Amino acid sequence: MRKLLVALLLLVGGTTFAQTGVKAEGNTLTTREIAPVWPGCEGSEASKKACFKQKLVEHLKENYKFPRDADGKIIRGKAVVAFNIDEEGKVEILSVEGPKKELNAEAKRIILAIPKMKPGERAGKPVPIKYKVPFTF
């Protein structure tokens, strides 16, 4: 009987700590997660996500410039930028990876030009949302 009581207490204690940040409604547990909202993308959740992707692609196309070397030749290569849309809706660069500093600088410039937006939310609180964008120059 003592072993059963100890096992039951461990099980109940473990499950109560595992539910942090989750809302319980009846027999259903839910955590609402909302992606950042680009300016002008208000609407339903599905349309906000699609609009965010569309606006990001448009932003990249509009700001995309091929870096050039001292001789005026286009520098070719790849760069990958990891960034957050932070709790205030601003872009925060986490890392820029690529073999050429000129390409890394251009990729970083393009991402930093993203406008401030409504931040992502989890359980009703603003949270940083991570993105990763590859560039091929």
The pLDDT tens digits of the residues spanning 19-31 come to: 445 555 666 666 7
* Amino acid sitting at position 131: Y
pTM as predicted: 0.73
Q: In this structure, what token pair is assigned to residue 14?
A: 């473990």
Return the exposure string of 28-55: e unless at least 16 CB atoms fall within 10 Å of the residue's CB, then b: eeeeeebbbbbeebeeeeeebeebbeeb
Lowest model confidence (mean pLDDT) among 5-19, 41-55, 81-95: 5-19
Q: Which helix (H) or strand (E) holds 110?
A: helix 101-112
Interval 125-133 mean pLDDT: 97
At residue 5, the 3 state secondary structure works out as: helix
* Amino acid sitting at position 63: N
Q: Give the C-alpha separation, 113 to 7, whole Å.
A: 55
| Contact between 121 and 89 (Cβ < 8 Å) | no
Q: How confident is the model at residue 16 (pLDDT cuts 50, 70, 90)?
A: very low
Q: Is 101's pLDDT higher than 80?
A: yes
